[in-house]
Amino acid sequence: MKYKDEDPDNLGGLGGMLPAEVLKMLNELLEQMHRTGHINHGSKIEIVYVASGGQHVETQINIGAHPNEGSEEPTSVTPPPEAMARAVERTMAQGYWWASTAWAVVYRVYQMKGYTGGIRQFVREVKEWPWQRKPEYECTYDAVCKPIRSGKLTGMPDGWVMNGASSQYANLGQELLNEFQKLELQFQK
């Protein structure tokens, strides 16, 4: 072999990484590009992955609207961890939670309120929030990432059902926004 690109084990500096790790890194990069506005609303990115031995895997990722695009509600100052914890605790107590995947809704609503961190950072921060009661459901990377990657939680919560999400997601999203509205005055003092 004369050229490094003829070597099937050469992944352009990613050698030694498992394909799943490469795809996770790619997903995080796409999320970051979407948040910073480098990917436009409605863009489609097609990723074609060919595994060794010629196994073909094709994934199409639809990049949805920026968190506040098309919304009349402006981005406000990112709520402090105390406000986040209280809103989560209240919605859990009110029965809006059904599984760990509900954390994806918290992440999306937090983005709508100005949060710019990635999913991994969000999961780490949630563990440090000042909880009055321990959450019923654990916040994990997979619990947040899988619903986010589906593209169903784009735009405002009232459009999520039309995107294909269940009404549980939309109801929790709307209630979290309501809770933030109530808590904003309390935490601005």
The burial class, CB within 10 Å (0-12 / 13-18 / 19+), for 23 is: middle
Report the distance separating Cα 58 and Cα 52, nearest Å: 14
Q: Which long-range contacts (CB under 8 A, 24 or more apart) does 127-131 make?
A: 128/81, 129/81, 129/82, 129/84, 129/85, 129/88, 130/81, 130/82, 130/85, 131/85, 131/89
Report the distance separating Cα 84 and Cα 187, nearest Å: 11
Average pLDDT of the chain, as a whole number = 77
Asked whether residue 57 carries a pLDDT value surpassing 50, the answer given is no
pLDDT tens per residue, range 81-128: 999 999 999 999 999 999 999 999 999 999 988 888 999 999 999 999
pLDDT class for 60, splitting at 50, 70, 90?
very low
Neighbours of 162 (CB within 10 A): 10
Q: Which pLDDT does position 167 carry in this prediction?
A: 95
pLDDT class for 12, splitting at 50, 70, 90?
low
- Stronger pLDDT, 17 or 92, i.e. the higher one: 92
Report the distance separating Cα 142 and Cα 34, nearest Å: 19
Phi, psi of 83 (to 5 degrees): -65, -40
Reported pTM: 0.61
Q: Which pLDDT does position 43 carry in this prediction?
A: 56
The tokens describing 163, both together, are 């995107």
Q: Which of the 8 DSSP states describes residue 80?
A: P
Q: Which of the 8 DSSP states describes residue 44?
A: E
